[in-house]
Structure 1
Amino acid sequence: MPSRLLPLLIVLAAVAAHAEKADRLKPMVFTQDKQGRIDSVNQRTELLGNVIITQGSLMLRAEKVDVRETRDGYHQAFASGTAGNPVSFRQARDVPGESIAGTADQLEYDTRTETVRFIGNANVRRMRGTTVADEVTGAVIVYDSRTEVFTLEGGSASPNPNGRTRIVMMPRAQPGDAAAPASSAPAAALPLQPSTTLTPPRKAP
């Protein structure tokens, strides 16, 4: 079986229910426990030890992060975790009470494209409060927070058997369902849907 499966594109929602739009206008804040290094000439910041990056509702946690600022003022963050302590990412959606949460061995975040790349044992979930609404796993998951499109890739770094990707879609609550009141599911929250018109993001060389 090939070590890498073909990329799979899925769309989280077809309605205008994107990641929190106000986040892009908020300052990016960095905190850490251990050492750091700021290179003003090369516009590069290196952080080490329980690093936390926040920007509005967005929160990224990692053991080590390398942040680089582009000439036009955007940031690219390269984060890595440790054994048993992966990188984590969370960001609110415009749908009240919903968020995107994910973990991976490594993570790349680009403020220009507003994409998050989960690399190695990648797991991304759409949360409704504390409840998992949808979940995707694979070797690599690329999340575009502007369009809420995921690109999934299988391979040897996938947590699933034989390097496969995996998608879990929870059943939606129906009106009158005593086990799951209709009020618990916002009307704008739609299930994951296959995309046949989008192409996967280009990989960095």
Structure 2
Amino acid sequence: MKKLLLILILLPSLALATFNDATLTTDTVISVGSYTLNISGSSAVIESMTVNADNLSVVLGSGSSIAITSPTRNELQTDTTTGVTNTCNSTTSSLSITGVTTVTITPSATICTDPTPSGSSGSRRSTFLPPPPLNNITPPLTNPGGNGNSNFYNLGLTNLRKGSTGDTVKELQKFLNAKLNIGLIIDGIFGPKTRGAVILFQQTNNLVPDGIVGPLTKGKMYN
């Protein structure tokens, strides 16, 4: 079948038209419904092109490629994603079609989204996110003497009570010795003497004298 040179502008009145075995040698304007599309391709062989009421069906020759552009930035939907590349910028929406034998293009009323923010010179904006709040973290307790000593008392995150053991109990015993000037043995065991010292601290700070080092008691120790 003899090839024709597709050098024409199809007006809206030519919808539902079909063209066979054409070689695209210049840009062509086609109306699909109420949408205007520009078709371009360097010597692309179009075996057939059918303009329907709401879509455009194209059968490309082997090795051909075309570009279809919407100057009004309408999204261009296709029935395949193989060999099809969508591009959107601030002025146009376009499809590059390569190596696809048959493809149907449907213009949409939806305006495409330009991924490049305006005024960014092609680069994306970076968003600064502040660090998350450090909740439920007990700060180290400084030496209550206020004399610049580098000692710290880390009472941990859990309540301390009779029977508790470990480094946090040792820190508590060091604090009580420094604050109350008593001679607790720093053994890391919350025994009767340590409990008695805690009760004494609570009584002098208007706390419930239950011998348990909980949030309220720790709060007073931090002041």
TM-score (norm 2): 0.28
Which of the two has higher C-alpha Rg?
2
TM-score (norm 1): 0.30
Determine which structure has the larger strand proportion and give its number: 1
Determine which structure has the larger helix proportion and give its number: 2
Structure of higher RCO (CA pairs closer than 8 Å, 6+ residues apart): 1
